[in-house]
Structure 1
Amino acid sequence: MKTGLSKKQKATNIYFNEADGMIEVCTYNTALKNRLTVYAAKYPSECRLIDNDENGCLTFEIKKGRLSFKLTAPYSEKRRKAASDLAKLNTDNLKRK
């Protein structure tokens, strides 16, 4: 029998409204949880852990203005090819020594 949550159920949810000064982030994403945990420890007046559901989801409360979204334009075919060619030239950086 399968236990636990599926990847589809492991969502990151971000809640905020115009009235409150705080943003709530609920996430299963390990990298994001680690970043938020370090940030909360370093800046407790800006961010704090408010819930741990014991199923792998952590919920943080962060002051507005501290969390941002970066929108990037899609790469042109020329830029995508240039990045691919550069990566192919530098495959030695990926090999373990």
Structure 2
Amino acid sequence: MIHLMKYEKETILLTNESDDAWSIYTFNPGLKRKLAAYARQYPDQRRLTASTQEGSETYEVSKARVSIRLTAPYSEEHRKAAEERAKQMNVDKSSQG
């Protein structure tokens, strides 16, 4: 097995306007687990089309089943408020134990 550097381990989503599916090529372990779990639950919606010794997998997934979501960055105020809530939750949990 060839050892690849992190920057060589890509994730590529590929499609064109006439296709009904996305081709998803990835080395990402989390994404591969999600796609495998999805395949077990919905085998007609996705299929593994290739895998390599280096660890990549390529899946074909129906376009109707894939969504790309972009989120706006948090404001500094929102980030600090979330940090304080998380700290308070940790304090509450540690006092219960």
Q: Structure 2 counterpart of 1:35, which letter?
A: K
Structure 1 residue 57 displacement after superposition: 0.4
- Give the % identical residues: 40
**Structure 1 SS opposite 2:74:** coil
Please report the TM-score for the alignment, with normalisation by the length of structure 1: 0.87
Runs (4+) of structure 1 exceeding 3 A deviation are none
Question: CA offsets, 1:1-26, max 9 Å, x none?
Answer: xx500000001000000011111001
**Structure 2 SS opposite 1:90:** helix
Q: Structure 2 counterpart of 1:42, which letter?
A: Q
Please report the TM-score for the alignment, with normalisation by the length of structure 2: 0.87
Identify unmatched segments of 5+ residues in structure 2. Answer: none
Identify unmatched segments of 5+ residues in structure 1. Answer: none
Question: CA offsets, 1:15-46, max 9 Å, x none?
Answer: 00001111100111111001101111221211
Structure 1 residue 86 displacement after superposition: 1.1
Q: Which residue of 2 aligns with 1:10?
A: 9
The equivalences for 1:14-25 within 5 A come to 14-25=13-24
The equivalences for 1:15-94 within 5 A come to 15-91=14-90
Q: Structure 1 counterpart of 2:66, which letter?
A: L
**Structure 1 SS opposite 2:8:** coil
When the two chains are superposed, the root-mean-square deviation of aligned CA atoms in Å is: 1.7
**Structure 2 SS opposite 1:88:** helix
Aligned residues: 93
